[in-house]
């Protein structure tokens, strides 16, 4: 069964460092998303992406965040200068036909900023 894959599964970084989280969405999906989940809390939307541009972003997705689809398969989230409060699980998701269809999530990347 097709699935969304994310790497790495766990990333530890020092405060102020840049991190890149990688995702390979399901191959025929066209809409991509990043969400995050702080430990013990609910899943929060960060950004949606379609046709090589950001469709919508939340107030969490400030100037330190960026997304890119560098090739036909990868979708990346970059955090330019990490802060302690960026520590969370980051989930990539994708949908096939549009924002209203079923979103499939990856296993997540646990980011720990120290």
- Reduce the secondary structure of 57-113 to three states and give it as a string: ECCCCCCCEEEECCCCCCEEEEECCCCHHHCEEEEEEEECCCCCCCCEECCCEEEEE
105 binds other proteins (CB under 8 A): yes
Which span sits near other proteins by CB under 8 A: 13-21, 54-62, 67-75, 77-85?
54-62
Report if residue 58 touches other proteins, rule: CB under 8 A.
yes
Counting contacts by CB under 8 A, is residue 35 touching other proteins? Answer: yes
Site stretch for other proteins (CB under 8 A), options 11-19, 66-74, 76-84, 101-109: 101-109
* Binding of residue 65 to other proteins (CB under 8 A): no
Residues 6+ apart with CB under 8 A from 59: none
99 lies in the site for other proteins, by CB under 8 A: yes
Helix H or strand E segment including 1: none
50: which strand partners?
31, 53
> Which residues sit at the interface with other proteins, rule CB under 8 A?
4, 6, 33, 35, 41-45, 48, 50, 55-56, 58, 91, 99-108, 110
């Amino acid at each position: 069964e097709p699935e969304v894959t994310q790497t790495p599964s766990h990333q530890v970084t020092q405060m102020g460092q840049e991190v890149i989280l990688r995702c390979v969405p399901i191959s025929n999906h066209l809409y991509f998303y990043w969400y995050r989940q702080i430990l013990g809390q609910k899943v929060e939307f960060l950004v949606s992406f379609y046709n090589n541009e950001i469709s919508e972003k939340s107030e969490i997705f400030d100037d330190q965040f960026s997304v890119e689809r560098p090739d036909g398969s990868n979708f990346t989230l970059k955090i330019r200068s990490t802060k302690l409060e960026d520590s969370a699980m980051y989930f990539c998701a994708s949908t096939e036909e549009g924002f209203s269809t079923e979103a499939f999530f990856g296993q997540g990347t646990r980011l720990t900023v120290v």
